Structure 1
């Protein structure tokens, strides 16, 4: 009976591989699956006939599959496993007495002997040995050391922030995510323990949109922490104990058309002209999901009614079109001098009649508009006259700004014009400013320079991250005010922040063509000398948990249009790699301004993009919620677009891991020192497996003067500490929910240094939701 069941199983496997392998071969792919499937069928027939040669045929399958796998991917265990796992398990089964004895023979004495399986046993043993050996070899790991000595003593950190405080999203206006505290060091970080935890009470709701996320980085001023939550609560905590001081609810309501429900942070302002202790002498500004900016007294959470309209600035003002839920501010505005400068997030790919991406500066005390810079109409920065409106759908900035007050510049990362995948009829101004970093004059709003990172962007390659400012010492010892700009496509631009000119070379590389007839592509695209851009995907990079879903991914690879980075969207469906999730996203990178090095988390996930003619798009369904994945309708445009990660039948990425790294680079030379797989599949699989595959993530890192980098972000729920010099993991702690935020650090009056992490999960990557703020410190 066992041998008949085995033969049936082999037949089914063989037919599946032969059918799928035949389709793959016709698409131009590997013949291996077809050949292997036919060999499985042959083995099944021989098993039915109880022929001992079945074991020898299967031995050939085992050894040929091993040779083919090594030829394709070398000794990468994570790629060898899916190619040979099923084959080896079945080989071990064929070696059991239940199979060998029915294939054996009777001796003259009537004793039944099992069929000889020495060739099969040897082939299986060799395959297992290769698999075990490959576990100790990682072809994707890059080891090395960053410079450990300081290049510049006491470099500018930006602003006037006490060492023990964290006043802005990136700590200072320079956005370095660097703290000069050094109590926590490489040699003691493993002793960190939890000091306190606080739960905000803002938990995910049944009627939330998919992209409901906790991305906040707390601010620390004096002995208070200030945070916001996805549903726009503002909260003040005691920095030493974590006890709540006050809580304010903006009552921003719910709207299923919001693409994002998040708040990355609040902004802090101290009115130096106000009498100490007077109401609203210190303020916290809360951006909301219904497009308001609310001024709160930092001391008690009361609304500062002298600001704007009874404490509330309505950001929809001046918009020609104002569909509810399509526009909001998810990132904290920049406060500089007497101005508060803010952009806004505009829903991707919803409509051709959405709000403008205008950047505006308001008086931080009164809320009066000082200037506006609209990338669709950049010449008019004076406030609009009554009846005028900003440019519909002009490129927007949903991320965080950086400021150099001495140079008088605010640095704005810009996105694309909606619809992102359709470049027809874009104006000259839109073509100039889309997907760029723009330096605006703080006082007038006029643009001083622009550095575009994608030409004629058809891929939603917004500049997603806060630019990082530092001074770089060149090899000839001249010091240059620099800007470090991470991008979704993996390039790290290192520019002179006075002019936008490259410090590390920027070149143009040929880009694929083949846009739809109504559109075009740029013949070349820029790339920086410091880049984490991925290699072009190949068929052999396709992955799966088993050989079967890997085969399906290979078929899907050929069914999509793909010619490398910047393959344009198509009606056929295109592979977009990196995908719009980005190699880097809003978490940016952290920079040590003394050593002049960076630490980041490059992520590699391919997406798909398929254009859909308007006539084929069904009316919007009742209860349909906003999302960046799935169908994006582009109302008013000739095409909608289906977008999402490039996944296999088991809903795991079709490309092989690693999907995420930690990496360090020298900003003076542009050399990447190390790249290590980051994160495990512990929370990606039904079983809590601690396999260090290198998983995707979203969030940001933080560096301390003690030489330690902290990072959550990965889709396993851990906060980790790394040696900045070599990227080695030094410590980790389990989080109660997804850690898709950026950690921060500060000191309290008794001298202790704390590290704080917000753990609340991320809707679009499916990590566990929660409402936790957790502080860690060294034992007393």
Structure 2
């Protein structure tokens, strides 16, 4: 009975492998699955006939599969496992007495002896040995060290921020995410313990949109922390104890048409001309999800009525179209001099009649409009006259700005025009400014330079990250004011921030064509010499829990349009890699301005996009609006687009891990020093497995002068500390919810250094929601 059931199972597996393998081969893929399926069918037939040869044929399958797997992926255990797991388990079963005895012989005395299976036993043992050995190797790991020399004796940190404070999203206007504190260092970071914990009370609601996320980085001024929550509570905490000082509810309500429900941070301003005891002499500005900007008294959280209209600036003014929920500022505005400069997130792929992506500067005290820069009408920076409107759907900036007050420039990371995947009918200005970094004059709003990172963007490759500013000392000891610009496609642009010219070379490389007839693709795309771009996906990169879903992923790879990065969207379906989450996103990178090195978290997760003709789009449904996953309707356009991660039949990524790394690069040489897998599958599987696969993440890092980099972000719920020099993990703390926010650090009056992260989860990546603010410090 056992041998008959085994033969049937092997035969069914063989049919699946042979049938799928034949189809894969017809698409131009590997012949292995067809040959393996034939081997399974032969083994099953021999088992039914009770022939000892069945075990020998299966031994050949084991050895051939092992050789093929090593040839394809080397000694990468995470790739070898799916290829060999089913085969080895079946081999072990075939070695049991229940299978061997019916294949054996009967002695003259009537005793039954099992068949000899030495070839199969040797083959299985060899495979198990190689699998065990491969667990101790990581062929994809890149080890190395960043230079420890402090090149800059007095590094430019940007702004006048005391060492123990954190005044802006990236600590200073330069956005370096670097703290000059060194009480916590590589020697003692392992002793960090939780000092206090605060819960905001803002928890995910049943009627929330999918992308409800907690991405805030608190500010620290004096002895207060200032932060916001996804539903626009503004909160002040005592930085030493974590006790609430005040809380303000913006009452922004709920709207199912919002694409995002988040707040990355608030902005702080001190009026130097006002007496310290004057109401609203110090202010906190909070953007809300119903397109308002509210000024609050930093001391007590009360609204500052002298700003705009009774303390509230309405950002929808000047828009030709104003669909509720389609527009608001998800990131804290930049404050420089007497100006507060703000952009806004425009919903991706909802409609062709959405708000403008205009950047505006208002008087920080009165709320009066000073200038506006609209990438669809860039020459008219004077405030628009009554009755005139900004350009509909012009490229917008939803991320964080950086400022160099000495140069008089604010640096804007710009996105693409909606609809993102359709390039027909874009204006000359849109073609120039979309998916670029633009330097605007602080005083007039005029653009001084533009550096485009994608030509004719058809992939939603917004510049998502705050540009990071530092001064680079070159080999001839000359100092260049520089800008580090991380992108979704994996480039790190190192530019002279005065002119936008590359410090590290940028070249144009040929790009794939093949758009729909109405559109076109750029023949070339820029690439920086310092980049984390992945190589082109191949069949050997496909993954699964077993060889069967891996085979399905290979078939899907061959079925879809894919000729490498920048393959245009199509009616057939296109693989977009890096995908919509990008190699880098709003978390940006952290830079040490003394050592002139950077630390980041490159992420690799392929997506797919398929254009859907208007006639084939069903009536509007609850989940058919616009997001990184699902049908993006593009109302008013000839096509919608169906997008999502490139997943296999078991809803796990089709591409093999690692999906996430930590990495360090030397900005003086443009060389990547190390790349290590980051994060485990602890929170990705039903069982809390600690396997360090290298998981996706979204969030940002922070560096201290103590040589430690801190990072949450990964889809397992941990805050981790790394040695900046070699990228090795030094410490971790389990979080009660997803840590998709950028940590920060500060010092209090008694001299202790705290490290703080917000843990509230991220709806798009499915991490656990929460409402936690957690501080860590060394034991007293």
TM-score, normalisation: structure 1: 0.99
In structure 2, the residue matched to 1:252 is 252
Unaligned residue ranges in structure 2 (runs of 5+) = none
In structure 1, the residue matched to 2:122 is 122
In structure 2, the residue matched to 1:776 is 776
- Report if the CA contact (8 A) 1:202-1:231 is conserved: yes
Written as runs of structure 1 = structure 2, the 5 A alignment for 1:36-435 is 36-435=36-435
Secondary structure, counterpart of 1:101 in structure 2: helix
- Report if the CA contact (8 A) 1:284-1:298 is conserved: yes
- Structure 1 CA distance, aligned partners of 2:685 and 2:155? 45
- Structure 1 CA distance, aligned partners of 2:22 and 2:324? 51
- Structure 2 CA distance, aligned partners of 1:260 and 1:282? 29
Secondary structure, counterpart of 1:225 in structure 2: strand
| Deviation (angstroms), 1:41 | 1.2
Match status 1:486 vs 2:486: yes
In structure 2, the residue matched to 1:588 is 588
Secondary structure, counterpart of 1:68 in structure 2: helix
| Deviation (angstroms), 1:35 | 1.1
| Deviation (angstroms), 1:627 | 2.9
In structure 1, the residue matched to 2:7 is 7
- Structure 2 CA distance, aligned partners of 1:353 and 1:623? 20
Written as runs of structure 1 = structure 2, the 5 A alignment for 1:604-619 is 604-619=604-619
In structure 2, the residue matched to 1:522 is 522
- Report if the CA contact (8 A) 1:543-1:553 is conserved: yes
Aligned residues: 780
Q: Map Cα deviations across residues 44-67 of structure 1 (whole Å, 9 max, x no partner).
A: 111112111111111111111001
Secondary structure, counterpart of 2:102 in structure 1: coil
| Deviation (angstroms), 1:624 | 5.5
In structure 2, the residue matched to 1:506 is 506
Secondary structure, counterpart of 1:451 in structure 2: strand
- Report if the CA contact (8 A) 1:82-1:550 is conserved: yes
| Deviation (angstroms), 1:187 | 0.4
Q: Map Cα deviations across residues 651-670 of structure 1 (whole Å, 9 max, x no partner).
A: 11100111100000000110
- Structure 1 CA distance, aligned partners of 2:443 and 2:430? 23
Secondary structure, counterpart of 1:240 in structure 2: coil
- Structure 2 CA distance, aligned partners of 1:10 and 1:629? 37
| Deviation (angstroms), 1:70 | 0.7
Match status 1:764 vs 2:760: no
In structure 2, the residue matched to 1:652 is 652
Q: Map Cα deviations across residues 118-146 of structure 1 (whole Å, 9 max, x no partner).
A: 00000000101111111111111001000
- Report if the CA contact (8 A) 1:252-1:289 is conserved: yes
Q: CA RMSD in A?
A: 0.7
Written as runs of structure 1 = structure 2, the 5 A alignment for 1:728-747 is 728-747=728-747
Secondary structure, counterpart of 1:527 in structure 2: strand
TM-score, normalisation: structure 2: 0.99
In structure 1, the residue matched to 2:753 is 753
- Structure 2 CA distance, aligned partners of 1:662 and 1:517? 41
| Deviation (angstroms), 1:563 | 0.5
- Structure 2 CA distance, aligned partners of 1:15 and 1:305? 74
| Deviation (angstroms), 1:11 | 1.2
Match status 1:549 vs 2:586: no
- Structure 2 CA distance, aligned partners of 1:71 and 1:191? 44
- Report if the CA contact (8 A) 1:256-1:623 is conserved: no
- Report if the CA contact (8 A) 1:374-1:394 is conserved: yes
| Deviation (angstroms), 1:235 | 0.5
Q: Map Cα deviations across residues 415-470 of structure 1 (whole Å, 9 max, x no partner).
A: 00000000011000000000000000000000000000000000000000000000
- Report if the CA contact (8 A) 2:214-2:761 is conserved: yes
| Deviation (angstroms), 1:39 | 1.1
- Structure 2 CA distance, aligned partners of 1:743 and 1:277? 32
Question: CA 1:75–1:155 in structure 2 vs 1: closer, same or farther (change >3 Å)?
Answer: same
| Deviation (angstroms), 1:629 | 1.2
Secondary structure, counterpart of 1:565 in structure 2: coil
